[in-house]
Amino acid sequence: MPELAYINGDVMPIDDAVVSVEDRGYQFGDAVYEVIASYGGKMFCVKEHFARLDRSMKELHFPKVQIDEIRRAAIDLFSKAKIERAAVYIQVSRGVSPRNHAFPGKIPVQVVMTVRKIEEKNPPIREMGISTITVEDLRWGRCDIKTVQLLPNVLAKQKALDAGCYDAIFISKDGIVREGSSSNLFILSGGTLITHPLTPDILPGITRSLVLDICREKEYPVQERFFDKRELYEADEVFLTGTITEVLPVVRIDGRAVSNGKVGPAARALQEGLLGRLKSE
């Protein structure tokens, strides 16, 4: 079960993979990406991830790309790796050219992929829930585009780890709760699930969308609206959602217990519903 890399059509062990120093993703963060998880040897939500990758490239005015060719290459690389539980990382940069802020001329995009085994989180983390901190959202104004410009996310995550917590939750300058450092966020308040609406300020998460679908199927009341830190602190439940994260309960925020400080039934039910989707796809 080798962990593999792909660079512009060439497949190799990850340790042998290198890219040019003049790749624009490396020099400018001028690149977009996706991470697809596999379960039982099958990649999950492939169509949705590649639709979002295509949108990200179009939003950044990348040259026309044959998205189906990249999708087929990713599936082929995954099949070669033969890792049942894997994270398939796909990154597309604007290409390799001498360093210049302006877009280069007609050059091909650079496509890089890796397939790595997902190290499963210690089971108690989902059973016990996680602790988080809140941080000011200093990210750029187009968080809906999945770019590799992740330094504010990295700094927020590290700040959380340094504080003995698992993750950080972004709060806007005017007090609106956004999302986690690498995940979307939901709260349960008075029997209603609430999450930030789709705006340029958050990522349109694939798992977020699945969770909303599950809520509609189960007829759980849902609101996509803005909410502040007070509502976050006073919520009955809080949880993060993401491709690798799945549904991850938050039981402490800024040192305060969420409700009784224990994982709640909504998070458990939605995680079960999500796993049911994984098995049925």
- The secondary structure of 65-130, three-state, reads CCHHHHHHHHHHHHHHHCCCCEEEEEEEECCECCCCCCCCCCCCCEEEEEEEECCCCCCHHHHHCE
Query: What integer best gives the mean pLDDT of the chain?
Result: 96
Q: Which domains does the chain have, with CATH numbers?
A: 4-117 (3.30.470.10), 124-280 (3.20.10.10)
Q: How confident is the model at residue 120 (pLDDT cuts 50, 70, 90)?
A: confident
Centre a 10 Å sphere on the Cβ of residue 207 and count the other Cβ atoms it contains.
24
| pLDDT tens digits, one per residue of 208-233 | 999 999 999 999 999 999 999 999 99
pTM here is: 0.95
- The residues, ordered by sequence, that sit 6+ positions from 107 with a Cβ below 8 Å of its Cβ are 63, 94, 95, 96, 97
- Sheet strands (E) in 176-216: 177-180, 184-189, 192-195
| pLDDT tens digits, one per residue of 13-63 | 999 999 999 999 999 999 999 999 999 999 999 999 999 999 999 999 999
Active site residue 146: yes
**Catalytic annotation, pick one of 146, 157, 218, 279:** 146
Sign of the dihedral through C-alpha 165, 166, 171, 173: positive
